[in-house]
Each structure stands twice: as C-alpha cells, then as structure tokens.
Amino acid sequence: MEIILHAHHADVTESLRAQAEAAVIRLAKRLHRVAIAIVRFIGDGQTRRVEIVLQRARSRELFVHADAREFAPALSAAVHRLESQVARVRRSRRVPNNGDRTG
C-alpha cells in the first residue's frame, strides 16, 4: 500500500504525520486490497481540515473529512469516521446476499 501525505497551506508536525500514517495502516489492515491511502491536511483560513481517501482495488473508495480549529482534533474525527465506514464495509461483506441461511 502506498501512503501519500499532502499538506496544503499547512505546517504539519512529524508526530502528526506519523499518527496519521499509523491510523491509515491500522484501518487498511481491516480491509482487503487497499492500493493507495491519501491523507490531506488543508489549512485555509481559521479552519483546519483533514481528508482521508482509501482507494481499493476493484471496489469503491472510502472518503472522509473533518474540520476543526487544529489538525489533531480534525485528524481524530476523520479517523473515527473512517473507522465507521470500514466497519460498515466489513459488515456488508459478511451478510449473505439474500439473507437465506443454509443448514
């Protein structure tokens, strides 16, 4: 998996970058075939935004974003939202197509 960290009008500390990378790796392990993970730190105006995109092979990409006054809370909120999306994808994969149970 390739991880791209992008800062647009933002000064992002190494510890925050490492935190973002660790969170993306942890969540990508729960999914299969994550090809690219993109984390964008956007600092336009007073609002700080973090966007996370997980691009998966032969599947729809997952996208989340969160806004806050600082990057750390925005990253935390974005990771939390991505955790919810990952859980939903994993749940939908386990449910049988027509709800029939055999046996």
91, 92, 93, 94: CA torsion to nearest 10: 60
> Which has the closest alpha carbon to 41: 1, 81, 68?
68
Whether 102 is in a domain gets the answer no
Domain count for the chain, please give it.
1
Whether 99 is in a domain gets the answer no
Q: In what order do the strands lie in the sheet with 48-56?
A: 2-8, 34-42, 48-56, 62-68
Whether 100 is in a domain gets the answer no
The two tokens of residue 40 are 């964008």
Give me the pLDDT at residue 7, please: 94
The model's pLDDT over 17-52, given as tens digits with 9 standing for 90+, comes to: 999 999 999 999 998 789 999 999 999 889 999 999
The model's pLDDT over 70-103, given as tens digits with 9 standing for 90+, comes to: 999 999 999 999 999 999 988 876 656 555 555 4
Answer with the residue of higher pLDDT: 56 or 41: 41
Give me the pLDDT at residue 95, please: 57
Q: How confident is the model at residue 14 (pLDDT cuts 50, 70, 90)?
A: very high
Give me the pLDDT at residue 57, please: 84
> For residue 32, what are the domain limits?
2-93
| CATH number reported for the structural domain that contains residue 45 in this entry | 3.30.160.100
Cα angle vertex 29, ends 25, 32, to 5°? 125
Give me the pLDDT at residue 103, please: 45
